[in-house]
Structure 1
Amino acid sequence: MFQKLTANARTVLRAASERSAQAGSPGIRAEYLLLPLFDRPDFAAGAALVTLGLTARRGSVEQALADAARRGGLSQTDAEALAGFGIDVSAVVEQAERAHGEGALAASDGTKDRWRPEYRAFSEEARKVLARAVQEAKEQGEKQIGDRHLLLALAAGPGVVADVLAEHGAGHADIRRALARGDRAA
């Protein structure tokens, strides 16, 4: 599959790996695939984020992703659904962190415990995103997987990244429309 990636998509994957290393994570999580797109408005996916107003709200997106990780991978929508059953996820997180330390419920990246610092495996969710990106490219009749396919795959979900994008007004259909209006060269 990696030989079918465009140069832009490879740039995104390299940046995702670097973010993973900076975060001290043994694996590349799905959100690490999204965040580099904010830094590349010259890419089709980055331009779509600008068009949708997400770059202006990057801090909010990053905070929502961090909050979801702290909740063990539950999105805000998940937390609200549980609140309907009388479960206060914030209280559960606070109690767990008091007992076991900050980040006690932080979502695992789904990689194996045995890892080498020079090699960052993709988490299960990130692998699913890559598979959806391949499918997005096929559906569009394209032979290469570009950064726009990665963004569409992230938004297609399921997953925290898709939920956060949707909560910020950038669902799959919104992103598809923004990409259709923009440059398709990535």
Structure 2
Amino acid sequence: MFERFTQGAREVVEGAVAHAERQESGAVTDEHVLLALLDARGSKAAFVLSALGADAQKDALVRELAEVRRRGGVSEADAEALAGLGIDVGQIVARVEEAHGAGALAGDRRDRRWWGGKHRSFSREAKDTLEKSLRIAVGRKDRFIGDEHLLLALASRPGVVRDVLGSHGVSVEAVEQVLGGSGAGGVAQAG
């Protein structure tokens, strides 16, 4: 599959690994892929993110991702839904952090089995995103996998990253519109 990646897509994957290393994460996640996409310059995904204003909101996106990570993956929408049931996620996080230290729910602590080195495995979600990007490229009848396919995969897969992107105006529909609607239905067909 990686032989079909454009140089830009390869740089995003390498950037995701670098973000995981800086955060001392045990695996590369969708969050790291998004952070690498936000770092990209001169690519289709960078153009799309700029056209949708997400590049100007990079700091807010990074803060929102960090806050979701701090809450153990509970998105703002999930926290609001739980609040409607009388569950205060902020209080729960505060109690856990009081007992176990700041960032206890974030999963930022290094896996004790990690021996160092340069290899970072990809989480199941990140592997699914890479596979989804291939299906999207095929659905759009593209002969390559570009960073725009990675962005479409992140925007279409349920989860925190899609929620954070959506809260900043980056949805599958918006990305497709900026890309000119080429391959319309490619994401839906990629299912």
**Residue identity in the other structure for 2:139:** E
Q: Distance in 1 between matches of 2:23 and 2:68?
A: 16
Q: TM-score, normalised by structure 1?
A: 0.90
* Cα distance in 1 for residues equivalent to 2:25 and 2:61: 20
The aligned counterpart of 2:168 is 168
State the partner residue of 1:26: 26
Residue 130 (structure 1) aligns with: 130
Q: Which residue of 2 aligns with 1:36?
A: 36
CA contact (8 A) 2:17 2:32 kept: yes
CA 1:28 to 1:53, structure 2 compared with 1: closer, same or farther past 3 Å? same
Between the aligned residues of both structures, percent identity stands at: 40
Q: Which amino acid aligns with 2:120?
A: R
Q: In structure 2, give the amino acid aligned to 1:34.
A: L
Residue 125 and residue 115 in structure 1: after superposition, are their counterparts in 2 closer, same or farther (change >3 A)?
farther
Q: Is the partner of 2:118 in helix, strand or coil? A: coil
Aligned partner of 2:69: which letter? A
The one-character-per-residue Cα deviations of 1:76-105 (angstroms, maximum 9, x if unpaired) are 111111111111111100100000101111
Q: Which residue of 2 aligns with 1:47?
A: 47
SS in 1 for 2:56: helix
Q: CA separation in 1, counterparts of 2:77 and 2:63?
A: 15
- How many Å apart are 1:35 and its aligned residue? 1.4
Write the letter of the residue equivalent to 1:41: R
TM-score computed with the length of structure 2 as normaliser = 0.88
| Rounded Cα–Cα distance in structure 2 between residues aligned with 1:113 and 1:16 | 21
The more displaced of 154-163 and 35-44 is 35-44
Native 8 Å contact 1:26 1:117 kept in 2 = no
Unaligned runs of 5+ in 1: none
Aligned length: 181
Partner of 2:149: 149
Root-mean-square deviation (Å): 2.0
2:61 aligns with 61
Q: 3-state SS of the aligned residue for 1:55?
A: coil
Shift of 1:2: 1.3
1:114/1:24 CA distance change after superposition, 3 Å: closer
Indicate the residue corresponding to 2:8 in structure 1: 8
